[in-house]
Amino acid sequence: EDQVTQSPEALRLQEGESSSLNCSYTVSGLRGLFWYRQDPGKGPEFLFTLYSAGEEKEKERLKATLTKKESFLHITAPKPEDSATYLCARGGGYNKLIFGAGTRLAVHP
Amino acid sequence: NAGVTQTPKFQVLKTGQSMTLQCAQDMNHEYMSWYRQDPGMGLRLIHYSVGAGITDQGEVPNGYNVSRSTTEDFPLRLLSAAPSQTSVYFCASRDRADTQYFGPGTRLTVL
């Protein structure tokens, strides 16, 4: 069964305090590993797609990396506006997405 | 481009009532899908469509019906609402680069 597990469930950071979010996934039949950001009351917003181990992508203070079993979302010097829920999803057959439960990030000034 | 639009934003139903959640996209994407999001759980796929006239079941299809008569529209029908269907529903469409674009969601409460 395809599974995606995200940790931690919640993370509280001080502004400028760098950290990483983890996403572990079932490997068989992987067709992409996706990261989304979701603000309260809104739909998920696409951040990154990773396809192969060793691949990295960056956007502002965010960098996503992929290994054979896990993906990490590194947040460097976060700001309060980075507060959101970050969702990880694995792509499968017909590009169905299997989502993790998300990590709720709060960045305090 | 408006992207993916959903109506209504909020809805309250009584058990046994039926309704249709509307979804439209103006990006000419072939692939569209419906998810539900419940507290503490990831988004779960209800139904998806790879093009007009073609639909298939996702992970949690029971109690829901879909059709795809045009590329733009992908409505989700609740046949006989149950309290277990209280959730936030998201529609999404996917481009050729595998990026899925989500709508703003419909918050449904079934009493």
Mean pLDDT of B53-61: 94
Q: Span B66-94, mean pLDDT?
A: 97
Residue with tokens 């733009």: B72
Whole-angstrom distance, CA of residue A94 vs CA of residue A80: 37
Determine the residue of chain B that is closest to A86 in CA distance: B42
Find all residues with CB under 8 Å of A104, minimum gap 6, and list them: A9, A10, A11, A85
Query: Nearest 5°: CA angle at B16, between A42 and B68?
Result: 55
- How does DSSP classify residue A82? G
Q: Going residue by residue through chain A (109 aa), what tens digit of pLDDT does each one get?
A: 668 999 999 999 999 999 999 999 887 777 889 999 999 999 999 999 999 999 999 999 999 999 988 999 999 999 999 999 999 999 877 668 899 999 999 999 9
Among B42, B48, B103, the residue with its CB nearest the CB of A101 is B42
Chain A nearest-CA residue for B102: A43
